[in-house]
Amino acid sequence: MNQYYIDAFTGPAATGNRACVIELEEWLPTEKMLELAKRNGLPETAFFVKQEGDDQYVLKWFTPDIEMDLCGHATLATGYAISSLIYPKLNNSISSGESFSSNSNRSNCIKRVLKFDTNSGEVAVEVAPDGRLTLDFPSRMPEPAKLPENILNALNFKPLEVYKARDYVLVYNSAEEIENMEIDRTEFDLINMDPGGVIVTAPASGSRFKDCDFVSRFFTPQATILEDPVTGSAHCSLIPFWAKRLGKNELTARQLSKTGGILYCKDQGERVRISGYATEVK
């Protein structure tokens, strides 16, 4: 068993979300993996086992509390660990069959595709020559919903609109409201959303975040860690929502936690692409 600590969705003024990536030769009991995740005390610990064939893996994610159905930042971290630290020699082959020239757009060429069998079906991480990693995840367009009274009472700002897919998506008018959001856990923790959470989001226009299209934060009731620093899976709903609202398929997002994260997003109908960078923590 080998483990690696990776910060995912890093960028300018953003140190991302830390994940522990654990390489296994064979699966441990679920209780043991949950115990290791609790011991790590990070938002997510990812466990993977390599399968027959090139870059085929089975992947599972655990918070300190539960096994998750889908996790973006820990998948990105796993893709980085495999392609940069564990099996880097495979980077010498170009899975797309393209050859690179000095005039080619290297960031858009796929150098390697890692495929993961997960509880949410097959997901992939594409590894580009410039180090950018791209998640291929399912789209989860949120639908109008009624917010539970306890969640509403826990918020210091009331949302303009409420939607829900796996997570509640609460829409606000300004990025400043998202930055200054506070949660009263005595009310918030009366709700169990296993495995979902609450996304608060707003357009970035008119704010100081001129490098992005929308901002968000993510909170989980009854979780050991209330706020997830950067939440790739939340963007399965945020991408189609903001793509439709803003009338554009390619967007840049920023998650406004204390560490912060930058996500490069693309809406592709039934799938979304979520890109970012990662670094090893030594």
Rounded CA-CA distance 158/149 in Å is 11
Catalytic site residue 35? no
Q: How far apart are alpha carbons 168 and 188 in whole angstroms?
A: 13
CA separation for the pair 7, 19 (Å, rounded): 6
Closest to 140 measured CA to CA, from 27, 5, 239, 10: 239
Q: How far apart are CA 199 and CA 168, in angstroms?
A: 6
> What residues have CB less than 8 Å from 90, skipping those under 6 apart?
54, 55, 83, 112
Amino acid at 167: D
195 three-class SS: coil
Spot the catalytic one: 44, 126, 177, 227: 44
Query: Which token pair is 73?
Result: 């930042």
Which residues are annotated as catalytic? 44
